[in-house]
């Protein structure tokens, strides 16, 4: 019982005293449990409830919904990216070491608000799964809101916002692609660059990995726990996206090549059989004799 009491006291101390007091009364920020509940509900809906409800139904026509949804995400991502730039990246922030500004100045509070809206954007991304459900989607969208919640709760600003800045830029490109794809076949034929979206995501995680873990080797007033938190997320998501890339593109190319070889082999085999059959019934041999006779006559 004493151990349980210590755990409870430690939890309350962490949430009430060691977190950023500026966000403690903000929507969904007082406790991690509402966010956790939303994430678990999302996983339950896409993996259990959704398939159960749709197993005897025809797929819904979502074209118009997808167009408006992706347009919203492009605009939202552009605004978040702009906020990250205006708040410091490429202006006053250092890519080498950027501590969190815990003051209540207008500039510091702008960064905090941008972090909260980035956290909120992770919930809007749940709708990505309406059009396509995969292991990558479920893990990525199921984890991210909870991961970002801790960032907003303890370190809203500073070094780790590099991840958000980069991620919103990638999302501008990604949702622009999905918006164009939703317009139909007349546009889709020009979207040859789909696989490069996944490659862009992987480059993003490599940059985040090095940007985060550089703080292990330099003196910077930034929580070491969050260096590992961000860095290990980059490792996890790089693995997931690279696995998806291999499955979706590299293996597809191999399968396509093996099919071509198989078809060529069948054609060659048929030609061989025709030639052998021709010699056995005399037709091919007759062709050869006619050609030889024609050659002699021409001489």
Query: Beta-carbon neighbour count of residue 198 at 10 Å?
Result: 18
Q: What is the pLDDT of residue 60?
A: 81
Q: From the candidates 137, 140, 171, 211, which is the catalytic residue?
A: 140
Question: Does the pLDDT of residue 249 top 90, yes or no?
Answer: no
Q: What is the pLDDT of residue 192?
A: 87
Q: Report the Cα 282 to chain-centroid distance in Å.
A: 64
Structure tokens belonging to residue 69? 């949804």
Alpha-helix runs per DSSP H in 30-88: 33-44, 50-54, 63-86
Non-local (6+) Cβ contacts of 119 within 8 A are 28, 145, 148, 149, 151, 152
Q: What is the pLDDT of residue 194?
A: 85
The rounded distance, in Å, linking the Cα atoms of 158 and 101 is: 7
| pLDDT digit string, tens, across residues 12-25 | 889 988 999 999 99
Structure tokens belonging to residue 103? 């003051």
For the chain, the domains span: 2-252, 257-298
Q: 140 an active-site residue?
A: yes
The C-alpha angle 89, 95, 99, rounded to 5 degrees, equals 85
Question: Residues, the chain, total?
Answer: 299
Grouping H, G, I as helix, E, B as strand and the rest as coil, residue 189 is coil
The rounded distance, in Å, linking the Cα atoms of 145 and 88 is: 23
| pLDDT digit string, tens, across residues 76-104 | 999 999 999 998 898 889 999 999 999 99
| Nearest Cα residue to 121 out of 149, 162, 82 | 149
Query: pTM of the full predicted structure?
Result: 0.81
């Amino acid at each position: 019982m004493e151990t349980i009491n210590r755990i409870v006291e430690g939890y309350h101390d962490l949430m009430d005293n060691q977190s950023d007091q500026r966000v403690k009364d903000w929507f969904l920020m007082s406790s991690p449990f509402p966010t956790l509940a939303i994430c678990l509900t999302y996983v339950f809906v896409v993996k259990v409830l959704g398939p159960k409800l749709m197993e005897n139904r025809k797929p819904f026509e979502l074209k118009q919904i997808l167009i408006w949804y992706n347009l919203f995400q492009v605009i939202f991502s552009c605004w978040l990216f702009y906020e990250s730039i205006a708040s410091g990246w490429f202006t006053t922030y250092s890519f080498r070491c950027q501590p969190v500004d815990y003051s209540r100045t207008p500039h510091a509070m702008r960064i905090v608000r941008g972090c909260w809206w980035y956290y909120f954007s992770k919930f809007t991304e749940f709708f990505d799964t309406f059009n396509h459900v995969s292991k990558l989607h479920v893990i990525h969208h199921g984890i991210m809101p909870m991961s970002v919640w801790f960032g907003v709760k303890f370190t809203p600003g500073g070094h780790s916002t590099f991840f958000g800045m980069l991620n919103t830029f990638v999302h501008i490109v990604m949702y622009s692609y999905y918006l164009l794809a939703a317009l139909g076949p007349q546009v889709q034929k020009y979207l040859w660059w789909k696989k490069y979206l996944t490659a862009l995501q992987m480059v993003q995680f490599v940059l985040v990995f090095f940007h985060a873990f550089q703080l292990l080797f330099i003196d910077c007033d930034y929580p070491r726990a969050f260096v590992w938190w961000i860095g290990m997320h980059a490792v996890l998501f790089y693995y997931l996206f690279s696995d998806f890339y291999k499955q979706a593109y590299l293996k597809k190319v191999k399968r396509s090549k093996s099919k071509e070889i198989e078809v060529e082999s069948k054609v060659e085999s048929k030609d061989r059989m025709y030639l052998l059959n021709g010699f056995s019934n005399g037709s091919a041999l007759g062709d050869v004799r006619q050609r030889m006779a024609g050659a002699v006559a021409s001489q």
